[in-house]
Amino acid sequence: MKAQRKEADERLLVEAAQADSARFADLYERHFERVYAFIVGRVRNRQEAEDLTSEVFRHALQNLRRFEWRGVPFAGWLLRIAANAMADRWQRVAREQGDPPPGPPDEAATEDIERRALLFQLVGTLAPDQQRVIVARFVEEKSIRDIAQELARTEGAVKQLQFRALQNLRARIRRIHPTPKPNPGGRRTHA
């Protein structure tokens, strides 16, 4: 029932954006993290991922009137655009460098994309200093020392910010996906 309501809500958002392109912002907000997570997980370069994500949404906006509901969610359409944009870029780079392009993205990675999108969304809810540390440390792959210099803080303070941020993320993830409680006595229950 919840999935049907979500699909109906999304359908209304798409139809509104097709009628008035200013309404596309709602779709952008809803799907940005998912598309960015899909791309950044494959290109491993923040600037390139940002460029490709921007390209995906520009292309989607330009072609929104062509989108039709055919049993595939709007997010699937966006991820297809993203996969094509990455393939085009890899082919262009391969031609320029003489290297073969990597294979197409694995479609079975949808669950991983959803996890990454959720994580990006949760990082956005952290305190600004914690966000900066997490992004610098895990997205930009900077050292504690480099982050401390950028933030004009001690390395210990940066480590503490990172620790608190990770604790906050774990707690928020547990609220969303609680771990099942063990069955007392180890007995299986049958329905």
What is the span of the domain harbouring residue 153?
A: 124-179
For the stretch 21-72, pLDDT in tens is 888 898 888 888 888 888 887 787 788 889 999 999 999 999 888 888 766 6
Asked whether residue 118 is assigned to any structural domain, the reply reads no
Confidence (pTM)? 0.54
Residue with the larger pLDDT of the pair 188 and 31? 31
Query: Of the residues 72, 106, 140, which one is the last residue of a structural domain?
Result: 106
Asked whether residue 189 is assigned to any structural domain, the reply reads no
- 78 and 32, same structural domain? yes
Which CA distances in Å does 76 have to 54, 82, 119, 159? Answer: 17, 10, 19, 38
Asked whether residue 188 is assigned to any structural domain, the reply reads no
Asked whether residue 191 is assigned to any structural domain, the reply reads no
Asked whether residue 116 is assigned to any structural domain, the reply reads no
Q: Quick one: which of 64, 34, 61, 60 has its CA closest to 49?
A: 34
Asked whether residue 112 is assigned to any structural domain, the reply reads no
Amino acid identity of 131?
Answer: Q
Q: DSSP label at 70? A: S
Q: Confidence band (pLDDT; 50, 70, 90) for 17?
A: confident
- 130 and 63, same structural domain? no
Asked whether residue 113 is assigned to any structural domain, the reply reads no
- 101 and 140, same structural domain? no
- 72 and 27, same structural domain? yes
The CATH number assigned to the domain holding 44 equals: 1.10.1740.10
Asked whether residue 85 is assigned to any structural domain, the reply reads yes
Q: How many CB atoms lie within 10 A of CB 66?
A: 8
Residue with the larger pLDDT of the pair 135 and 143? 143
3-state secondary structure of 174: helix
Domain count for the chain = 2
- 139 and 96, same structural domain? no
**Of the listed ranges 61-65, 108-112, 140-144, 148-152, the one predicted with least confidence:** 108-112
- 135 and 58, same structural domain? no
- 151 and 80, same structural domain? no
For the stretch 160-170, pLDDT in tens is 999 998 898 88
* Residues near 157 by beta carbon (within 8 Å), at least 6 away in sequence: 148, 151
